[in-house]
Amino acid sequence: MLVSAKEMLVKAKAGHYAVGQFNINNLEWTKAILTAAQDMKSPVILGVSEGASKYMTGYKTVAAMVRAMDEVLGITVPVAIHLDHGEYEGAKKAMMDGYTSVMFDGSKYPIDENIEKTKEIISLAHARGVSVEAEVGSIGGEEDGVVGAGEIADPMECKRIADLGVDMLAAGIGNIHGKYPANWKGLDFSVLAKIQELTGQMPLVLHGGTGIPEGMIREAIHLGVSKINVNTECQLSFAEATRKYIEAGKDLQGKGYDPRKLLKPGTDAIYNTVIEKIKLFGSEGKAE
């Protein structure tokens, strides 16, 4: 069931659990994530970066594929198609072309400009029933060409953005896209607690979900995080399972080179990763 991310996140915030955003790259990814969410009776957000959208030939293709798959697979849990780290123009186009949720990442702009642009995106999106995620501070590392310095968010700036009526807010709290370095200092829970105190019911978003220890994930949810983004971990699971298949020479046995056989172990591995995350985030059974 395709919906905006608003209601599922309001429920998650009130119920003290988090909804997973799992990024997609192609049909296999989409199928694995939708099936896992349905089997777990969990709401889910399919994250699509601008780069991944382009790779799949554009927002329209992605929206049409997800809509059709959702219908044909008989998915009854709430599903949002969400633009991840959108630019201003990208966010506008994605919502026109059928995404049910958009992130406008204005974190590279000075705060007043970020606020101005976020406000414009909110008014366009809300007129169409599309939910909006904003960002303050920045997420470290790189994702699909979006590079962030890992700047810790200013809680007062978070409040200014929350007051615009945005549906979810990503705040930099020491989180990083991709693998965490060995000397990573961990999440800044004192800043997260302050942001929570100032933004009240606003669903908070934790980017860079790959590699954060389980204890920290639970603490973040306890402090008000209700959406957690996972991308790299599904890529790593997919790559590892595919490598094992090829290293075992299975592609050379019989018709093991058939793409449907070749991609199956990786697709199953994504499914298993998503199941694990849904259990950890506490959203299992929340869509019953």
- State the catalytic residues: 84
232 or 245, CB closer to ligand 13P? 232
Nearest distance in Å: CB 253, ligand 13P: 33
Contact region for ligand 13P (CB under 6 A) — 27-35, 61-69, 205-213, 250-258?
Answer: 205-213
53 or 232, CB closer to ligand 13P? 232
| Residue 29 to residue 34: CA distance in whole angstroms | 9
Q: Is residue 231 close enough to count as binding ligand 13P by CB under 6 A?
A: yes
- Judged by CB under 6 A, the residue of 84, 133, 157, 167 near ligand 13P is 84
- Judged by CB under 6 A, the residue of 93, 177, 194, 227 near ligand 13P is 177
86 or 282, CB closer to ligand 13P? 86
Q: Is residue 178 close enough to count as binding ligand 13P by CB under 6 A?
A: yes
Q: Is residue 138 close enough to count as binding ligand 13P by CB under 6 A?
A: no
Contact region for ligand 13P (CB under 6 A) — 38-46, 58-66, 207-215, 260-268?
Answer: 207-215
Which residues form the interface with ligand 13P (CB under 6 A)?
23, 47, 84-85, 143, 177-178, 207-210, 229-233
